[in-house]
Structure 1
Amino acid sequence: MGKNKRGKGSKVMAVSDASGLPVAVHVDSATPHEITLVAKTIAGRFTRAAPRRIVGDRAYDSDPLDEMLKEQGIEMISPHKSNRVRSRTQDGRPLRRYRKRWKVERLYAWLQNFRKIVTRYEYYAQNFLSFVLLG
């Protein structure tokens, strides 16, 4: 989300359902890329059933991530990066669902309303995660 007391950052990864309610939340340091945190986020979901599809931005355009999610039965929908070397893996039809990504962004905007979440005051990540879940 933002800086903490020591100047470093925290990254909040969230998966939401079609109505914008959180299905999975994961907190980690701001250093790793989002692609490496997707598996941890999905593993810590609140529901038994895995999501059928995940909609992400251009940062999630990764062939290893697509393969990992296909093994779990999850479809990854994200626009391709402009510097993509390999051929494109999806045409424009699945990207129609990308237009509804604003529901996920609404979840993050809701979390930005809480001062305790915007600036991390907690030392332990588990304590910070509990405040994110309360938000």
Structure 2
Amino acid sequence: FPSKKRGAEVGKTKRGKGTKIMLLIDGEGLPLGVDTESANTAEVNLIERLVDRRISHRQPQRLIYDKAADSDPLRERLAARGIDLICPHRRNRKRPATQDGRKVRRYRRRYKVERTIAWLQYFRRLVTRYEYHAHLFQGFAQLACLFTVLQRF
């Protein structure tokens, strides 16, 4: 039997060990890019790498994310690339707000991201990681994205 929750890209969290699956989708909920990383890595550091791993040649104009991405340096780096980061501010934010309510209204469309994540969790192999090698788990995540895209057409 393959090992459970050990190997590369497995990190400790409050709930045990795990691997993060970062997902980039289009406006309809179809996966455009997937990336896996250790669960103890901050998501702010992984967003730019995820954008680089997209399969389309067009760069996204907007990136809708949750409160974990509320970082002014990340906003500046993405703005330099021509990407507008839309995410609500954290409650304990020290600096003044950088977004008004008009941009955050687009955050209502985040349900499409959550729906796509639910589609991927239909593949039980991604919910519980059995692979020891990280590249195998990454391959299964990409395969699940491919099946999700094929299912929609």
Q: Secondary structure at the match of 2:125?
A: helix
Corresponding residue for residue 47 of structure 2: 38
Q: Secondary structure at the match of 2:17?
A: coil
Q: 1:124 aligns with which of 122, 133, 146?
A: 133
Cα distance in 1 for residues equivalent to 2:121 and 2:33 = 18
Cα distance in 2 for residues equivalent to 1:98 and 1:24 = 20
Corresponding residue for residue 119 of structure 2: 110
Corresponding residue for residue 29 of structure 2: 20
Shift of 1:5: 3.2
Q: Secondary structure at the match of 1:81?
A: coil
Please say which structure displays the higher CA radius of gyration.
2
TM-score, normalized by length of structure 2? 0.83
Cα distance in 2 for residues equivalent to 1:126 and 1:110 = 21
Task: Give percent identity, aligned residues only.
Answer: 50
Corresponding residue for residue 48 of structure 1: 57
Q: 1:100 aligns with which of 101, 109, 129?
A: 109
Cα distance in 2 for residues equivalent to 1:115 and 1:34 = 23
CA contact (8 A) 2:5 2:18 kept: no
Q: 2:73 aligns with which of 44, 58, 64?
A: 64
Q: Which moved more, 1:111-120 or 1:74-83?
A: 111-120
Question: 2:38 matched to 1:29?
Answer: yes
Corresponding residue for residue 5 of structure 1: 5
**Runs of 5+ unmatched residues, structure 1:** none
Amino acid aligned to 1:5: K
Q: Secondary structure at the match of 2:47?
A: helix
Shift of 1:47: 0.7
Q: Secondary structure at the match of 1:88?
A: coil
Alignment length (residue pairs): 132
Shift of 1:89: 0.2
Q: Secondary structure at the match of 1:106?
A: helix
Cα distance in 1 for residues equivalent to 2:37 and 2:64 = 20
Cα distance in 2 for residues equivalent to 1:88 and 1:5 = 39
Cα distance in 2 for residues equivalent to 1:115 and 1:70 = 37
CA RMSD of aligned residues (A): 1.1
Amino acid aligned to 2:5: K
Cα distance in 1 for residues equivalent to 2:5 and 2:83 = 37
